[in-house]
Amino acid sequence: MLVYDLHSHTTRSDGYLSPEALLAVAADRGVSALAITDHDMPCFPSMVNHPAVQVIAGTELSCVWSRQTIHVVGLNMTVSEPISDHCAEIQQARVRRAEEIARRLEKLGMTRALAGALEESGNEQIGRPHFARWMVKQGHVKDMRAAFKRYLGAGKIGDIKSEWPALAKAIEVIVQSGGIPVLAHPKQYQMTNTKLKALITDFVAAGGKALEVCNGFQPRDQVEYLARLTQDADLLASAGSDFHGPEAPYHFPGGYTALPGNVRPVWSLWE
Ligand code: AMP
Ligand code: MN
Ligand code: MN
Ligand code: MN
């Protein structure tokens, strides 16, 4: 039986480890099938490998629904134009967005924010966490959490969503690439249950196939609630650590609250 982790990040987006290093840590942790789901950036099995870990094609696409940022994980895509073109566009959008975030932070007196964040990104993909890391190093905030709470999180000055495509578009490119769209961490959006159900209805109508029932060490009651929503909507269930690096040790590869037995795992589609 394979041990799955279908949500993880590397230096290709906002993770701290290279894909090779991530695979080594995953293998150490007993993970035998890993999806590397970098933000707006596909990772295919042809790109990286490890003798003990099967790589499942993956990505995590940023999009917007009801003026809120939503993440859709794509699994098992083939190397193809819809996903490659989409992600190439989003990378350009991320640069424009970073320039706007930097302009806003500079107005608050945080000079050289763009150069600092780019340096943190290692000149790979740029995102809000890179601004947050730079702000911590500069002493503008005490930790990443404070950076998001004060400047970068939902509704704050650095939260710019105008560059993201609509939810239906993100689902469409995953489907067109032969992949499985998974609604990532549904409990992280801080929605009322009524709103979350409306999101799931639209997600299904647009071609969504699975809910991420387990994301890291979520409380058991949340996982059980999401399992019920999965059954009610006749969807599949996914599970992943959302590991970004050793700096977030409670999300180690393979680390997530166990998937309840009353849902059909998304991997039943390919096993
Ligand atoms: P972006 O892709 O630029 O929109 O940034 C989103 C990423 O920021 C998420 O994938 C998380 O990794 C990270 N993030 C979001 N909220 C927080 C937070 N409160 N503290 C630390 N990191 C966060
Ligand atoms: Mn992230
Ligand atoms: Mn996410
Ligand atoms: Mn993620």
CA distance 88 to 92: 7
| Ligand 1 atom having least distance to the Cα of 39 | 2
pLDDT the model gives residue 251: 81
pLDDT the model gives residue 217: 93
pLDDT single digits (tens) 67-85: 999 999 999 999 999 999 9
Sign of CA dihedral 259, 262, 268, 271: positive
CA distance 240 to 194: 25
| Ligand 1 atom having least distance to the Cα of 244 | 12
CA distance 136 to 113: 12
CA distance 71 to 193: 18
Strand ranges (E), 95-235: 180-183, 210-215
For atom 17 of ligand 1, the residue with the nearest CA is: 148
How far apart are the CA of 261 and the centre of ligand 1, in A? 30
pLDDT the model gives residue 161: 84
Surface-to-core class of residue 161, CB atoms within 10 Å of its CB (0-12 exposed, 13-18 middle, 19+ buried):
middle
Q: Report the mean per-residue pLDDT for the chain.
A: 96
User: If you average pLDDT over residues 2-15, what whole number do you get?
Assistant: 97
How far apart are the CA of 71 and the centre of ligand 3, in A? 5
250 has pLDDT over 70: no
Q: Report residue 223: phi and psi, to 5°.
A: -60, -45
249 has pLDDT over 70: no
Percent with pLDDT over 90 in the chain: 96
SS3 content of the chain, % helix, strand, coil (to 5): 40, 15, 40
Percent with pLDDT over 70 in the chain: 99
Residue for token pair 């560059």: 163
Strand ranges (E), 36-137: 54-56, 58-65, 68-75
pLDDT single digits (tens) 123-166: 789 999 999 999 999 999 999 999 999 999 999 999 998 889 99
**Tokens matching residue 242:** 């959302």
**Tokens matching residue 155:** 């509704």
CA distance 172 to 165: 11
Q: Which of 53-62, 143-152, 209-218, 240-249 has the lowest mean pLDDT?
A: 240-249
pLDDT the model gives residue 126: 97
How far apart are the CA of 127 and the centre of ligand 2, in A? 8
pLDDT the model gives residue 163: 83
Give 162 or 10, the one with higher predicted confidence. 10
How far apart are the CA of 129 and the centre of ligand 1, in A? 6
Sign of CA dihedral 257, 263, 265, 271: positive
Pairing of strands 33-35, 54-56: parallel
pLDDT the model gives residue 84: 98
| 128: CB partners within 8 A, 6+ apart | 101, 148, 152, 158, 159
Q: Which of 148, 161, 242 to mutate to test the pocket of ligand 1 (most atoms within 8 A of CB)?
A: 148
